[in-house]
Amino acid sequence: MLLRKEMETLEVKLLARQAVKSSDTKGRITEEEECQIRTCFQRDRDRILHSKAFRRLKHKTQVFISPSGDHYRTRLTHTLEVSQIARTIGRVLRLNEDLIEAISLGHDLGHTPFGHIGEYALDNIMKEGFEHNIQSRRVLEHLENINCTLEVLDGVENHTGPKRPFTLEGQVVKLADRIAYINHDIDDSLRAGLLSLEDLPNEAISILGDTHSKRINKMVTDVISASNDLVQIKMSKKVDFATNTLRDFLFDHVYLNRIAKEEDGKAKRIIEFLFEYYLANVETLPKAHLDRLKQYSKETVIADYISGMTDRYILDVFSEIFIPKSWSRRSDM
């Protein structure tokens, strides 16, 4: 049987010098006894995979709110694509694949229902603001009490935004996230009829390729080549330019597209109405959230509850609270 100690020894032999070795982890906020079989990062990955927040990702919007087709991405399938891309890069660069997988699987646990419009709505409501990456760390650290290693928490928190994760593994996930969403959002937009292949900017397509698989392959191989010195995980200037060109194009033609986002105003108002309702009726929150009022403000607890909802659950809750129900009675006998 290959026990944890033996795997840690193998990591030292097989992984790159700059890779994070499980035996060199900065540890957990709360110390605990090590697993006999799994390394610390394997244990983090398993805990995230078995969490309730991870299961809820299957019913959270990626870009299109409640699409009718079965083949559009959800927050869960996005997460799995990020993990696959990141692990491919990490394996070739001989980085710690278990750490990469744990960060990938946990990076969007704090995302709201209705995708980024839900995030913007809560960000406008909360005085201290709301960012899904910060909330993802909060889910791991406080709401699910997973007690992840500091390397995983850092990678999750900094997978987006200006700060760079302190591990190369976290940097891999940060780039893999961008590679994944740019390419699958193009794919979903083509399926939805919002875009045609001819619409894609030629200056980017001529560099990255004219198919979904070609573009991902080009980006992934470029990251590997540009990062081979293992100083920083990055793209070459040429591919980075093409990638940013595609991202800007998606913002103009998909993310801010009136037809694609015509339901956003409704989604935003649902979150606003529910937040106001729970502020005035905080006692109606589920008991698990009520118990957190001893530690956190009403606003924080309400944001925790709403951000954890799936798209269909928030619609059910909204309907239950705000939509009148039909009423009837038997005729007199």
Higher-pLDDT residue of 180 and 253 is 180
Residue 256: is its pLDDT beyond 80?
A: no
Domain ranges of the chain: 34-255
Neighbours of 2 (CB within 10 A): 8
> What does the pLDDT average to over 227-252?
97
Backbone angles phi, psi at 124, to 5 degrees: -75, -30
Instruction: Report pLDDT for 265.
Output: 87
pLDDT band at 65 (very low <50, low <70, confident <90, very high): confident
Distance CA 217, CA 221 (A): 6
Identify the band that residue 211 occupies on the pLDDT scale cut at 50, 70 and 90: very high
Residues 162-176 pLDDT 10s: 999 999 999 999 999
Q: What pTM does this model have?
A: 0.94
Domain 34-255, CATH: 1.10.3210.10
